[in-house]
Amino acid sequence: MAGRAVLLIPHRGESGDEAALPADYHRILAIVRADGGPVQVRAVGEELGLEVGVRGKLEPLRAKMTKLADRGWLHKRPDGKFTARL
């Protein structure tokens, strides 16, 4: 868009609909919700089939989860775990 930034991940209040999220972010959100409690990035990575033994492989996932938290879709706890927002 000419001169305007477009958010790939909208703020939760702007759309309110998960369908606005890209497929990979939608999967992350579904995994966190299905767990029902605080989850570590490693657990989400395992569910996604990532190579969790290599720390560098989890950093892009951590960035995506943090972005979801920053935009109101998830909650990031002080201990680094994530929970679903109701």
Among 6-10, 32-36, 54-58, the range with the most confident prediction by mean pLDDT is: 32-36
3-state secondary structure of 56: helix
Helix or strand run (H / E) with residue 69: helix 55-70
Domain boundaries, the chain: 20-84
Return all residues near 51 (Cβ < 8 A) that are at least 6 apart: 57
Structure tokens at 53: 């033994």
Query: Are 18 and 25 a contacting pair, CB within 8 Å?
Result: no
Structure tokens at 86: 């109701």
Whole-model pTM?
0.85
* Topology classification of domain 20-84: Arc Repressor Mutant, subunit A (1.10.10)
Band the pLDDT of 44: cuts 50, 70, 90. very high
